[in-house]
Amino acid sequence: MTTAAPDGRRERKKLATRAALRQAALRLALRDGVENVTAERIADEADIARRTFFNYFSSKEEAVLATAALGAEAVVARFRARPAAESVLTALREAVLEVMDRDDVAGHEHVAVLRLIRRAPSLLPQQLSVLAAQERALAAAITERLDGPDDAYVRLCATTAFAALRVVLDRWLERADDAAPPIDVLRAEVTDAFTTLAGGLDR
């Protein structure tokens, strides 16, 4: 899910171009604010033609959110890798924490872009769309994990679990607005939310 198999120079260059544009978009958005970023500026920053930018991303929002999409994909990938003995919610919780707790560049980028989205309402629609796409991927993964689950339950499960994550992450980012985000608090919040879901929502 990270960078599969770059065989052939062409494929490698395409990957590099895409990565350069994605990183340039994130860098500019963080430095100047999303509203001051244009497709042209992203392309210039990556030293690539404006037309080529649109060969890779259909809008500047998509380019900025590509980093967030990678994060969401990573969560689903980690979910698939969790032991089959774990329940769906437990596996998902651990998957999220694994991704958010990574102390490398990608991990910091994930947090950075999530904070960026909080401050830039214009990114919200597309981000929710990214989430919706990953819901489908998560639903597929849940189907593989369980034995003969009905479609209604799987979709309900994937969607509500992601929705809960959205709330928890939003609250976590809200409180850790500038300080280094305490991962322990995040773990507690996720556990709390998922326990509520598992135990029954209605009061």
Partner DNA sequence: GTGCATCGGTGCACGCCGTGCATCAAGTAC
Partner DNA sequence: GTACTTGATGCACGGCGTGCACCGATGCAC
Q: Which residues bind DNA (CB under 7 A)?
A: 8-11, 13-14, 17, 37-40, 48-52, 54-56, 58-60
132 binds a copy of itself (CB under 8 A): yes
H helix or E strand, kind and range, residue 22: helix 9-32
- Which residue, 21 or 165, is less far from a copy of itself as judged by CB? 165
Using rule CB under 8 A, residue 191 touches a copy of itself: no
Least distance (Å) from DNA to the CB of residue 28? 11
51 binds, among DNA, a copy of itself, none (CB under 5 to 8 A by kind): DNA
CA–CA distance, 116 with 165 (Å, rounded to integer): 17
* Torsional class of 3: left (φ above 0), alpha (ψ -120 to 50), beta (otherwise): beta
* Tokens at 88, concatenated: 């769906």
Number of residues that bind a copy of itself (CB under 8 A): 41
Q: Which does 161 bind (CB under 5 to 8 A by kind): DNA, a copy of itself, none?
A: a copy of itself
Task: Report what 103 binds from DNA, a copy of itself, none; CB cut-off 5-8 Å by kind.
Answer: none
Q: What whole-number distance in Å separates Cα of residue 141 and Cα of residue 179?
A: 34
Secondary structure letter of residue 181 according to DSSP: P
Using the contact rule CB under 8 A, the part of the chain among 35-43, 67-75, 177-185, 193-201 near a copy of itself is 193-201
First CA to last CA distance, the chain? 40
How far apart are alpha carbons 81 and 79 in whole angstroms? 5
Under the binding rule (CB under 8 A), the answer on residue 169 touching a copy of itself is no
Sign of the Cα pseudo-torsion (56, 61, 67, 70, in order): negative
Binding site for a copy of itself (CB under 8 A): 87-90, 124-126, 128-129, 131-132, 146, 149, 151-153, 155-157, 159-164, 166-168, 171, 189, 192-194, 196-203
